[in-house]
Structure 1
């Protein structure tokens, strides 16, 4: 600090630095809750004041070309090296410093500690994104409005408000601007829309997609509906052998949607749950409503041997040329959206699926009224989200009637066809699963 000159800024920085140095070893014992709260609020305001001074000095550094003595090419390059920050952060600082020179109301709010640095960056972005043809008085009103809103809104809220600030200060201008902005954004999203599916040769396909916000919202709601309604209740854990597996999956969660089940605490939504929900969504789609291609449209045709349908281990073949496990083929044979083609030992077609294989809508409604939802022990998935299942496989002579049918949620319907589990039906018409050893 002794090297600082006699300019008022140098003296102020020296005094502030000395004061903070004294606090470096200060004990925090004795600070009660109210004092701690007040101190944190005051420190946040102090941070904003220091940030304003720093960026004002950065703006002046650009004017006097502080980088020239060192041979640095830009002020940002010099700043990054001198302060040991990244060039990205230094460029942002130089940009914000220049913006604060133009937006005096915002700079004053930062200097007074009423606006923090994060809020200031958001306000600058909002003001700089206003159309070039907006009158200067509208820009000034937008700046004033956002600085006032900063008193009661954080940076995330300000980002949303900033996108619509014209609607606040100049509704007619804002409406036209927003309409154009949304139309341009939708065109850009439409041009960027894509999906890639890449098989890795081990039975898995990796994909990435870019879709417009509208379709992302539709997909997200569908997937979350499947995730929430497909989760077994947390109660009766002792009777549900697979809940330990689901707990392990929850521990590996990598994103949170805050879904709440039955009034309980929020649960983390795992990528595995969303992935299974996406598969369930695809299985629920009715390919008959899609345009026809090659005679069958988007309906998947599963070709399997009679032995496979009756419980054999031989795989089945999709009409895309891909192969699926035998137990998956048997499960798909229960679904109305899938066309099963069964071959005898000579490869001749024995069955191509018949309407009476599947429960009618009236029967499904009756099953819902009787079962009330998934009949797996401990599961409380609502009836409207369940599949109708044959207790006696239709392929072995089972009848499509209410007496030998039941509702199972998607997860338990998969499990009832999973060879890794066996199941039994209790006296009160509940299905209990046990993992095979």
Structure 2
């Protein structure tokens, strides 16, 4: 097949999908419809396998700098309008399940050969693949390549006909057979595995957390729970009605309150290391709605008012910043605390489209002209940019410019698909604005 044949095949593929979409499925019996659903499910799995093949071929010798980027993950994310996390996952899947080549160009089977074959046949799906990948990643380091390959073959075989949860049970049993005694305590391994991740804040304001604590941190939390999380009685002698989980939550909150209120005068990328918030006068006066924090959390106004009454510095960081100069021209390169607070109030987080990094993770960037090119350190020329995105501007084809009160990120020509130039993630009201809405309403 040459390039022309490939293009013809893709066009026929598009035409076949359009024909299927236009079919009147109400003319079929429910049994026939279910059979079509099953057929489409198998086809989607086979399409996923094909995607791994093509993406692996692309990644084999692609240079991200040809596309004006620093990594293939970003190239894929921008062209496919994916998050960087999803783009990275797709590249990893392609590396595991797509074809490979030796240094001399000879073809090799996929790393997960049997899993890739089952996916290509449509017998398993992405959820099955994820279970097998998780199992292999969790195997102890002493398990050799032969045993790993045999385990992968076994799981790929038993996955056919099982759902992902059932396959997970089978994987757990296989793991117990391989390592019946479990891992010996290993400090180096414990430190490598430790993590604590704050999840995405939900619509109701609550935020999930998950992680793995090393023994020392677990012991410290035990003390916090024991001293701050015990059942208590209120001033009227009423019993504590909180659950154990609620008491532990409140104990951790108390410890963190004490840490923040201890007089810490550190800074984070130029912002005070405390709870820094921005809100509108209307919301503050009404006591309703949410304020945005420099850490990326939406804080209910009622909580902000209560916290401000307990610790003045939650609002004091804004008290006198208007007395400091916000326009320095070429006199200073680095933004002051006052400028960074003003940037936070305006931008909330990184200004690159698609980035979700909050202000604490951002630097003050000369958004109109780089400092080296004569840019000025004035508030209307500065913008927030997270550290990786700030670095991107230094050695890729990306540029920024200030226009109509916003910071626009202009991609290299090979990555320009007409995507958004302005990041509205921290200003969701803009998503709903019509073309004739006031562009600078929230600035």
Q: TM-score w.r.t. structure 1 length?
A: 0.40
Q: TM-score w.r.t. structure 2 length?
A: 0.40
Which of the pair has the greater relative contact order for Cα pairs under 8 Å at 6+ separation? 2
The structure with more radius of gyration: 1
